[in-house]
Chain A
Amino acid sequence: MRKLSAFNIATLFVGVAFLYLPIAVLVVYSFNASRLVAVWGGWSTRWYGELADDAPLLEAAFISLRVALLSASAATLLGTLAAVALVRFGRFRGRLLFSAMIYAPLVMPEVITGLSMLLLFVAISVDRGFWTVVVAHTTMAMCFVAVIVQARLVDFDMSLEEAAMDLGASPARTFMTVTLPLIVPAIAASWMLAFALSLDDLVIASFTTGPGATTLPIRIYSQVRLGVSPEMNAVCSIMVGVVGLAVIAASLLTKLSAARGAPARV
């Protein structure tokens, strides 16, 4: 009974259009030769050119990339550990608090988490800068990682782990040789999510950053507050393009590995 009614098609179409039109407008206007949105001055790539000369912007981009790489990796490690603890360790003391600390940040408004972390750093007299942002992003992202990996672990066929142990593999070896290879797609996906979250974060970074550690969103935000500008459009279009390509590449990779026989689902 899986028919796609006309209403459904229309809904999908409108929904998708709603999601993509603003971005399309953004991209289109980044090629606008004229500075003013109201006037269409023809196609031009001059704003992209001017980007290359914008040193602070490039530096901010570089910093953002490094922060994202570090925090995504740390978050994936911590989040995976947390997920394993939640799913495989049954009832342990403090489990309720543990799960509360994992789920609450998912919904907590960012101003609160950002503020609280800043106050922590001040209280322990740590200079804010690059590393405090990394720590903050790691904390925020590990919860997302934990939730994603946990969902995958819950689905995981326990009899595979039992079989491995029955054949002589210790619990640690079982995890490394049987469980981990089969949940790698979930871990990879959550790494990418953590990366994107870090790259994109404005509020928490604003609270926890210090001199010399201006991230790209902070930079963009300070410009954007003053109004729309075509250079910003260019920056944003580039970011959209890069992310879009990455996501498409990732999904193609997933399809490829599925075709090669590693099952997408156990």
Chain B
Amino acid sequence: MPALESNGALAKRDFAPWTDRTLQPLLRIEGVSKRFGAFTAVDRLSLDIYQGEFFALLGPSGCGKTTLLRLIAGFEQAGAGRIVLDGVDLAAVPPHRRPVNMMFQSYALFPHLSVAANVAFGLKQEGLPKAQIAERVADMLALVKLEDLGRRKPHELSGGQRQRVALARSLAKRPRVLLLDEPMAALDKKLRGETQFELMDLQRRLGLTFIIVTHDQSEAMTVADRIAVMDRGRLMQVAPPAEIYEQPNSRWVADFIGSVNLFEGRAGDDGTSVEGTALGRLRVATKIAAEPGAAVWVAVRPERLRVTAAAPAPDQTGLENGAAATLVDVAYLGGLTILRLRTEAGVPLQATIANTGRLADRAVSWGGKVWLSFPPEAAIVLTR
């Protein structure tokens, strides 16, 4: 399935094991399906996740990402397919014997046990000697900066503190894979931001493999080395965040991640143009992978749309792929401004401009006429 593979060029850090053909994936999901009655939650899904990755499962609610996570953890049984971890088929392994640990969305801290006892719980099941357990617990609490709270009970902690306990508890056993089920859903925005970076830091330092489920795009983009975008039980695209954003493989992915302007048209004869769009004839930079005359779509991110006050002179270059438009609405967001525009033909478009100056100094105004354009390099051609 070529559309799902990705190259390492747009990797976040200098780390792209998925491009290395000689490497075996740590976790291999092969053709896994899961149904609940008539509803198919996961549909013949195949995925490889490598050691050391911070992997995100992203998608709208009901897409099956949480079900997939629970299948890996062992709380659901797959109807078809295999899940292989380190070469071992997990089908026969009950959840309490799998070398994976999970951080629950609700944290699921044992209310009748202290913080230290919660963290020690998994270690006790392994039968480790008491001294070793105590040492590991102390290490874990220090890792999440809760050293002095070992004696407290969960209901005596704040939401953020409880989350750290849950994290410490799930890391205590040094699992091969750590599963995180919307771990930051209950935190406020500022705390969420800080926690995201702490998680990334932790993951890198400990060299563990994390799989996070989230519905928050910016969270996935922030933390993940690769994102798997899911819809209705199927994988739509698996790639590093930059690739997903800049090279979506379908209209669905382009529309799901961030905002996008879409133009439908037909592939031109020369292979680098698209005919019959709402903006007329568009020129694109890369060769179109479709037969001339085939239906294609051109996707342009709002921040790549150039907005100028006046139309270009006929001999000016660099302003092709343009059209006249009226400014319909302006949303000021502090760091950037979102402009809602409508072309003369009535096509609604969205542009984003960074606020590098003060708002009052802007040339554009409501109801004003502007000229939109984008360079061919900004065009993403989609064949589906």
Contact = CB atoms under 8 A, between A and B. Distances in A.
A174 B170 CA distance: 16
Contact of B101 (A157, A159, A167, A171): A167
B44 interface: no
Contact of A157 (B95, B108, B170): B108
A262 to B, nearest CB: 6
Contacts of B188: none
Contact of A168 (B104, B110, B126): B126
Main secondary structure of the interface of A (DSSP, over half): helix
Interface residues of B, number: 28
Contact of A173 (B106, B125, B126, B153): B125
Given A162-B95, A169-B96, A263 B111 contact: yes
Contacts of A171: 94, 96
Size category of the A interface is 20 to 34
Contacts of A170: 94, 96
A162 B74 CA distance: 9
Contacts of A262: 111-112
Contact of B108 (A162, A168, A173, A181): A162
B173 A167 contact: yes
Given A168-B97, A261-B155, A163 B108 contact: yes
A182 B104 contact: no
A162 B102 CA distance: 9
B75 interface: yes
A53 interface: no
B110 A162 contact: no
A162 B111 contact: no
Contacts of A159: 104-106, 108
Interface string A179-210: 00110000000000000000000000000000
Interface string B122-137: 1001100000000000
B110 A160 contact: yes
Contacts of B122: 167-168
B73 A164 contact: no
Interface in B55-104: 73-75, 94-97, 100-102, 104
B121 A169 contact: yes
B111 A169 contact: no
A174 B96 CA distance: 10
A63 interface: no
B97 A164 contact: no
A72 B151 CA distance: 37
A168 B111 contact: no
B102 A163 contact: yes
B28 interface: no
Given A160-B108, A166-B95, A171-B94, 13 more contacts: A159-B104, A159-B105, A162-B104, A164-B96, A166-B170, A168-B97, A168-B126, A168-B173, A173-B125, A174-B96, A181-B112, A182-B111, A263-B112
Interface of A: 157, 159-160, 162-171, 173-174, 178, 181-182, 261-263, 266
23 contacts: A159-B108, A162-B75, A162-B104, A163-B102, A163-B169, A165-B94, A166-B74, A166-B95, A166-B101, A167-B96, A167-B121, A167-B169, A167-B170, A168-B96, A168-B97, A168-B122, A168-B125, A168-B126, A169-B121, A170-B94, A170-B96, A173-B125, A266-B111
